[in-house]
């Protein structure tokens, strides 16, 4: 659990739909409170729920929130935080670059998360919140000390004396050995409980694992883009390497909501059924998620919906449960508001059958692969 310290250095659901989500979440409440719904991150001692909450959108005005951040959206993010805690999901993933100062009107995601933790602890001093954040491997950052310097700034934003998981956000163009050394230093200095990487391919993952192992420090996780219709980690050896080494795969974009267009990062929750061949997305998103692609995806979406009806679960809950059922995978969907957080909680406390898991994989394999993010090729 990250220790909070007082600090002055803080640098469209319908009503029917909302009520159904609330009912599903309430049914799973007791299950989320048990140790059965928690797993260790890799070979570390850190235990987290089988699903975490991503805070990429919190405070951001570049990729999310239609280029603006206001009080209504702050209230939504706070609602997502509190609802998650109430339902037993107590770990959150952020990063120093989320809500970048380069974006007009943005608020740093770490600062928002720290504020939410502080306010919650004022009401409930015993609440445990697991915090994960990330180091940006920017080209002008060199050596192990750059990791420690950035970490201390993140702690300042968060108002914490330490974090539970500190990750390298992506491999650097150079200087990666120094970054790994910095992760080890952070553990030995007591600034972090455990460490991980993100967007690391198989070769880089193994190198980081071995380098930390020499210091007696486990590499806890590798956070990568992974979903039912984006299974590159299975194809490029990353998932197998994680399983073999005992490194937890943290799945970002688990609802397939991010893909890449040559000129822009695109957002689409492709697996939730939001868009159909007759209702494709507009703007640049439509260049990839065309009516033809969505028509190709329809058999999979129909099967997801059918399975969900059998369990009284939404398509979102089904696809998140599919990821959890892969083993050694912890998805971190991004929650913008209370309703989304409650829906995500409904992905826990139950499990798809082996036949359902195989059928969804088979149908997903018949669709054209989506394009991933550039970090994966570094």
Catalytic residue annotation: 98
User: Cβ of 378: how many Cβ atoms within 10 Å?
Assistant: 14
From residue 54, give the alpha-carbon distance in Å to each of 25, 284, 330, 345, 370: 18, 24, 11, 13, 21
- End-to-end CA distance of the chain: give it in Å, rounded: 32
How many Å is the Cα radius of gyration of the chain? 20
Token pair, residue 267, equals 């957002």
Q: Which residues contact 305 (CB under 8 A, 6 or more apart)?
A: 273, 315
Backbone angles phi and psi of 284, in degrees to 5: -65, -25
Token pair, residue 154, equals 């993140």
What is the DSSP secondary structure assignment for residue 327, as one 8-state letter? S
Token pair, residue 168, equals 């390298």
* Torsion, CA 117, CA 121, CA 123, CA 127, rounded to 10: 100
d(CA 278, CA 291): 7
71, with CB counted inside 10 A (0-12, 13-18, 19+), is exposed
User: Cβ of 219: how many Cβ atoms within 10 Å?
Assistant: 29
d(CA 220, CA 250): 10
Q: Are 309 and 320 in contact (CB under 8 A)?
A: no
């Amino acid at each position: 659990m990250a220790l909070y310290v007082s600090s002055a250095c803080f640098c469209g659901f319908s009503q029917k739909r909302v009520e159904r989500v609330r009912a599903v979440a309430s049914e799973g409440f007791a299950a989320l409170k048990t140790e059965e719904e928690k797993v260790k991150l890799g070979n570390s001692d850190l235990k987290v729920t089988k699903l975490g909450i991503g805070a990429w959108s919190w405070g951001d005005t570049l990729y999310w929130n239609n280029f603006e951040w206001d009080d209504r959206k702050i209230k939504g993010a706070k609602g997502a935080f509190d609802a998650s805690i109430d339902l037993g999901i107590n770990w959150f993933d952020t990063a120093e670059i989320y809500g970048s100062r380069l974006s007009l009107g943005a608020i740093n995601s770490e600062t928002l998360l720290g504020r939410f933790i502080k306010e919650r602890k004022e009401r409930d001093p015993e609440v445990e919140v697991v915090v994960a954040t990330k180091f940006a491997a920017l080209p002008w950052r060199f050596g192990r000390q750059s990791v420690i310097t950035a970490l201390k700034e993140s702690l300042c934003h968060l108002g914490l004396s330490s974090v539970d998981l500190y990750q390298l956000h992506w491999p650097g163009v150079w200087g990666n050995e120094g970054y790994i050394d910095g992760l080890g230093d952070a553990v030995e200095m007591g600034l972090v409980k455990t460490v991980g990487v993100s967007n690391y391919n198989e070769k880089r993952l193994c190198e980081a694992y071995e380098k930390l192992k020499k210091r007696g420090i486990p590499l806890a996780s590798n956070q990568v883009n992974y979903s039912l219709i984006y299974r590159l980690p299975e194809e490029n050896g990353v998932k197998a390497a994680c399983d073999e080494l005992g490194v937890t795969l943290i799945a970002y974009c688990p609802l397939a909501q991010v893909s890449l267009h040559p000129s822009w990062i695109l957002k689409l929750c492709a697996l939730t059924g939001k868009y159909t061949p007759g209702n494709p997305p507009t703007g640049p998103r439509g260049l990839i998620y065309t009516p033809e692609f969505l028509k190709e995806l329809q058999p999979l979406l129909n099967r997801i919906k059918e399975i969900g009806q059998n369990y009284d679960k939404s398509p979102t809950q089904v696809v998140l449960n599919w990821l959890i059922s892969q083993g050694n995978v912890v998805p971190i969907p991004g929650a913008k508001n209370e309703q989304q957080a409650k829906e995500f909680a409904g992905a826990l406390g139950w499990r798809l059958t082996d036949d359902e898991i195989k059928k969804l994989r088979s149908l997903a394999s018949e669709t054209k692969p989506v394009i991933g993010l550039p970090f994966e090729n570094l």
